[in-house]
């Protein structure tokens, strides 16, 4: 039998403590929809992410046979991965798609750029499993709150004139540069737990009127303290120095390699370059914090406006009926399609040069590809080989997200 070019996959859920509980977790609900797996939602468990790529951790499998997707791809590289992936990406999927269900802040983190990732992987392969960078995108499926990138310096500087915060800017630099930001961030992250606690208490007593546009800090502080305690310096860095943004379904952000970020709440489709490297410095137990010096020395301390982080969708040239938009992050590893079909709609997606992985994020319908018909239901995941065009139709409405090259 010749190799199938389109086939259904099963994903794998993980249980990090920041995930949503039991049935509240969209990641778990979507994962549980795939028939014939032994995944069952336990009401007391916290389900954070479902992964559905060919990465070793939390791997996807070919549903029909139970084989690892990575094994299936390795056995049929030419047909299933195509020339581009074989030549440029080490014959592996260059992207890793996930669904995240976030109940509380993820660790405040950066993903090292290629240079540092290569060095770290050489020195400490156990903790840094990949020599690759990991820029990522997040497409919101519901209200999504996020800290991402540093605020413009002229928004940060006035905050550090407030009495409890002056100590982190001992040179009292009036004209802030990226280096001021670097040293202030480092000072906060290196402060002892008692100092952090004292500063947070004092900060919470400042009248809102003194903070102007930044008064949201006082609303978020108790929430973060509730999640990670009053001694986590991550709260100070996130609230004082980073952009805080609230998105709705369909909005997307792009985090470049080296970009600081912490997701706070919501359900998202996330996709990233193939890597699992991360440096954590806040919103996690002290023992899990990677070396603050390395973090402070590595990070590009460059302020971003909110607009730098937002990734707008565009019309897709691959879409025949105009029901599909594409998010194109400024990187080569992947794009993300989002198709929205209303009741009775059809859509056709022209073939792509590389492989794609799609998930039905809501609704149901039918897919035609390679002369075959596939039932689509919420949560169903499919692999689509290079050079294969697909047709979708829905009687009741359906939404699909698909990572492609
Ligand atoms: Zn990340």
How far apart CA 36 and CA 22 sit, in angstroms, is 20
Check residue 2 and give its pLDDT.
Answer: 65
Residues 166 and 187 in one domain: yes
Q: Within a domain: residue 5?
A: no
CB 267 within 8 A of CB 99: yes
Instruction: Give me ligand 1 centre to Cα 138, in Å.
Output: 9
C-alpha distances (whole Å) from 7 to each of 80, 87, 220, 373 are 11, 24, 44, 11
Quote the distance between the C-alpha of residue 395 and its chain's center.
31
Query: What does residue 153 show for φ and ψ, rounded to 5 degrees?
Result: -55, -35
Reduced to 3 states, what is the DSSP secondary structure of residue 267? strand
Q: Within a domain: residue 62?
A: no
348 is in an annotated binding site: no
Domain with residue 300: its CATH number is 2.60.120
CB 359 within 8 A of CB 30: yes
Q: Total structural domains in the chain?
A: 2
Instruction: Give me ligand 1 centre to Cα 163, in Å.
Output: 33
Q: Within a domain: residue 63?
A: no
C-alpha distances (whole Å) from 381 to each of 34, 150, 186, 340, 400 are 8, 35, 42, 16, 10
Instruction: Give me ligand 1 centre to Cα 142, in Å.
Output: 18
401 is in an annotated binding site: no
Q: Hey, what are 87's tokens?
A: 């030549």
Instruction: Give me ligand 1 centre to Cα 271, in Å.
Output: 10
Residues 133 and 270 in one domain: yes
| Residue owning tokens 């193939």 | 274
Residues 277 and 183 in one domain: yes
- The string of DSSP codes covering 188-214 is HHHS-HHHHHHHHHHHHTS-GGGTGGG
Residues 123 and 137 in one domain: yes
Residues 175 and 198 in one domain: yes
| Residue owning tokens 């540069």 | 177
Q: Within a domain: residue 6?
A: no
**Domain ends where: 311, 334, 350?**
311
Q: Hey, what are 105's tokens?
A: 């802040």
Q: Within a domain: residue 238?
A: yes
Instruction: Give me ligand 1 centre to Cα 99, in Å.
Output: 13
Instruction: Give me ligand 1 centre to Cα 252, in Å.
Output: 14
Positions in the chain short of pLDDT 50: 1
Residues 249 and 379 in one domain: no
**Domain ends where: 286, 311, 336?**
311
Instruction: Give me ligand 1 centre to Cα 234, in Å.
Output: 15
Check residue 175 and give its pLDDT.
Answer: 86
Check residue 302 and give its pLDDT.
Answer: 78
Q: Within a domain: residue 152?
A: yes
CB 255 within 8 A of CB 137: yes
Instruction: Give me ligand 1 centre to Cα 9, in Å.
Output: 24
Residues 352 and 400 in one domain: yes
Q: Which domain holds residue 387?
A: 314-404
Instruction: Tell me the H-state helices in 108-264.
Output: 114-123, 153-156, 178-190, 193-204, 216-228, 233-236
Residues 378 and 352 in one domain: yes
Q: Within a domain: residue 154?
A: yes
Q: Within a domain: residue 64?
A: no
Q: Which of 202, 195, 204 is nearest to 226 (CA)?
A: 204
pLDDT in tens, 119-150: 888 888 887 787 777 889 999 999 999 999 99
**Domain ends where: 283, 311, 339?**
311
Instruction: Give me ligand 1 centre to Cα 50, in Å.
Output: 15
């Amino acid at each position: 039998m010749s190799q199938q070019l389109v086939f259904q996959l099963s994903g794998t859920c993980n249980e990090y403590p920041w995930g949503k509980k039991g049935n509240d977790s969209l990641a778990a609900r979507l994962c549980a929809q795939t028939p014939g797996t032994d995944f069952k939602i336990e009401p007391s468990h916290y389900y954070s992410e479902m992964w559905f790529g060919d990465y070793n951790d939390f791997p996807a499998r070919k549903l029909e046979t139970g084989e690892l997707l990575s094994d299936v791809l390795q056995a049929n590289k030419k047909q299933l991965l195509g020339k581009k992936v074989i030549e440029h990406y080490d014959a592996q999927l260059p992207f890793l798609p996930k669904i995240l269900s976030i109940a509380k802040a993820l660790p405040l983190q950066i993903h090292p750029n290629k240079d540092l990732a290569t060095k770290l992987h050489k020195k400490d392969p156990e903790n840094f499993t990949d020599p690759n960078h990991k820029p990522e995108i997040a497409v919101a499926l519901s209200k999504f709150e996020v800290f991402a990138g540093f605020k413009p310096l002229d928004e940060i500087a006035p905050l550090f004139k407030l009495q409890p915060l002056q100590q982190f800017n001992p040179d009292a630099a009036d004209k802030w540069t990226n280096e001021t930001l670097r040293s202030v961030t480092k000072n906060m992250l290196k402060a002892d737990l008692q100092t952090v606690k004292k500063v947070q208490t004092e900060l919470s007593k400042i009248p809102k009127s003194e903070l102007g546009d930044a008064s949201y800090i006082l609303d978020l502080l108790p929430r973060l303290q509730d999640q990670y305690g009053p001694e986590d310096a991550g709260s100070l860095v996130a609230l004082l120095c980073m952009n805080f943004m609230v998105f709705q379904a369909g909005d997307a952000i792009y985090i470049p390699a080296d970009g600081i970020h912490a997701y706070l709440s919501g359900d998202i489709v996330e996709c990233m370059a193939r890597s699992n490297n991360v440096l954590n410095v806040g919103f996690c137990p002290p023992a899990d914090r990677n070396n603050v010096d390395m973090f402070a020395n590595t990070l590009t301390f460059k302020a971003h406006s909110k607009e730098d982080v937002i990734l707008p969708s565009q019309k897709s040239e691959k879409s025949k009926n105009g029901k599909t938009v594409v998010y194109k992050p400024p990187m080569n590893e992947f794009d993300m399609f989002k198709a929205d079909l209303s009741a009775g709609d059809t859509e056709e997606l022209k073939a792509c040069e590389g492989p794609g992985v799609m998930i039905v994020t809501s609704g149901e319908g039918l897919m035609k590809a390679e002369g075959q018909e596939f039932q689509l239901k919420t949560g169903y995941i499919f692999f689509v080989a290079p050079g294969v065009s697909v047709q979708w139709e829905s009687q009741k409405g359906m939404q699909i997200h698909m990572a492609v090259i």
